[in-house]
Structure 1
Amino acid sequence: MAIPLPRRSPRGAYHAGRSRLPYLLVTPAILLFLLFVAAPGVYALILSLQARKVSGGLLAAGSRTVFAGFDNYSTAFHDTELWGSVLRMVGVGAITVPGTVLLALVFALLLDAPRVRLARFSRLTIFLPYAVPGVIATLLWGFLYLPATSPIGGRAVDYFGSTTVFFSVANIAVWGAVGFNMVVLYTSLRALPPEIYEAARIDGASELQIALRVKLPLIRPAIAMCSLFTVLAALQLFNEPNTLQPLSNAISSTWVPLMKIYTEAFVDSDIHQAAATSIIFAVGILAVSFAMSRAARSRFGAAAPSGRGDRGDR
């Protein structure tokens, strides 16, 4: 006599499908990460442990790949040109990070002020530079800087001087990044419950006091997140100086670390040294990101401030 098998109820099948749904949704992101991040990283690590050995004397009749161990890393650590590019990157970041966050915060507070006019138009105008590709924006600013085509005093001010070039590059980065950070901060402000503002006004607080003593403390996690994003963007500086290089003698082919890595790989044809430098640079970025994330989590907590919902759009 055959024993009938138990049937899965429709409710059990529904719950089983729902339990698998999150894994199905994240599968494309995981595959893309493995394909375009993890696999190239492993390949770069393998290349960094190798070197190209030329044979054949002066004629250089042939070459072969040999295991070099950590020789490429030792060369990178003792490369003064690399550390000089790091210092220049830090110099630009010292202008870009506070400039971007402060301007985004000021714009967000102004747009969140009561009885503000043309709020939608102003938001779009501030955000629009973020939608412009970085290379195109840099070319536009490059022509604004050139003395022959500059409408902003290029004949009187040397925007490509050895010192002013830092501000010229930082200006382009700030111009393109303020809009995104403004939207993040403005969204955080709109999520705050309006009862807090009403209570502060009843206590006699002015709009400036509300902005400085009420709004800013409540959106500090959002400010920390914008600061983290801006620091990471500053560490990956490449498009602006690389595009401005033909216009300025003050910008060399190794002006920032990513330009040096590009030069080593595609100009000097030393792919193994470039891989070692890129591994060192990637580890440094991960360390900075991890340290800032831990500091923000310990200072503000993992959860962002929550309110009763958006207060609507003006």
Structure 2
Amino acid sequence: MVCDWGMAIEMGRPGVDGLGYVVRVMGEWQCDGEPLQLHPGDVGWFWRFGAERTAEAVRTWSRAGEVLAVGLLDGAELLRLAFAPEALRDEELARRVAEDVSAPERGVLPGGEAYVEAPTGAVVQDLLSEHGWKSGEPWTPLRRDLGAPVPDPGVRVEVIGPERAHEWAAVVRASFEGSTFTGERWHAMAAGAPYAGARCLLVRDEQGEAVAAVSVWSAGEGRPGLIEPMGVHPAHRGHGYGRAVTVAAAHALQGSGSSSVVVCCPSSNAGAVATYRSAGLDPLPERRDLYRDAS
């Protein structure tokens, strides 16, 4: 447990200029063997909304100038958290985070219905329960070790640059109901600090039509890399493209020096879990969000 009783915990907002530092710190927290948590790639994917909105969505908790926890408001009612590994059981830090998250006047989450995603084993989960938060939807984390060779995905794979952004965006938009992703948002995402270690991949069928898309995000050499998002165009499902694009993602992350590839999806999405498993990712123990209902 990290303790320095002479130093108060401070919550802050990094601003646009501080986002790069926060992303680097979060990358250092990503370790195999530690609980899956908010990844720099999650911030990178959020960056599709632009740097200003990303800065508005990020919160940090620090002691003596050292950032020990980061939160991302992934929508108005969901806060996703990451902690320095040595701070997961820091009760003073967890108490401050739980208080800030539970009090609408502190400007983290609104009153009423809200959700918090925290890493498994973090003491903040226990303290949030004391504030009336309840166990919510189960999620399945999955992981593939990249120490062994990754097979060829067996499909045509392209690394997408600015000239093909609109085509990649079209597949992503079609893959997720309600998605508003566009080529312009791809350009905003690609301008963000996390994208320095990222790649967008596109799979084509034998006729050259774009059928599946994925983004992979590195946290640095020797650290877990993230898949976010992965999608297959509805008109081309059932042909193994989900497995193929996931294998391509693992291959790309291995080439960048990542130690493993990780992803997390709702346990209720059995098709996605099955796709990731078919691509060699092993499911880890389920975890659950915490929620507070409208009452």
TM over 0.5, shorter chain? no
Q: Normalization by structure 1: what TM-score?
A: 0.21
Structure with more contact order per residue of length (Cα contacts < 8 Å, sep ≥ 6): 1
Higher strand share: 2
1 or 2, which has the higher helix percentage? 1
